[in-house]
Amino acid sequence: MNVQGFSHVTINVKNLARSLRFYVDILNMKLVHRGRKDAYLEWGSAWICLQERPDMEDQCPQIGVDHVAFFIDEQHFWEAVQHLKANHVPIVRGPTQRGRGLSVNFLDPDGTQLELHTSTLAERMKVWK
């Protein structure tokens, strides 16, 4: 397989309209397409799909993806943390130094954990050597 890179993440949500208010209005993701039960958003070079699944029961603890991390330049990190706090977004870890980068983990309206992180994979691996 000749994979070129990461494509996207699909996140199941209970209420698409509520989730769009969070992802578009608070996180400032760009809405590219909205369907009846899904929406596609861009955030820098990353893109995600929100898929409305109100029939899914809460699955805690859930096996699978622990969180989704997005890269943010360190010069914008503290401004982003203040933005999350000002919008009463639940922060579940950090802000903290992780490896050689800064990190903050927070929750979307359905409890999906997202992370903003300032280091690259190469920088993280320097810590693990």
Looking at the annotation, which residues are catalytic? Answer: 115
- Reading across the β-sheet that carries 68-71, which strands appear in turn? 68-71, 113-117, 101-107, 91-98
Instruction: In whole angstroms, give the CA distance from residue 23 to residue 27.
Output: 5
Cβ–Cβ under 8 Å, residues 78 and 93:
no
Cβ–Cβ under 8 Å, residues 112 and 11:
yes
Cβ–Cβ under 8 Å, residues 115 and 89:
no
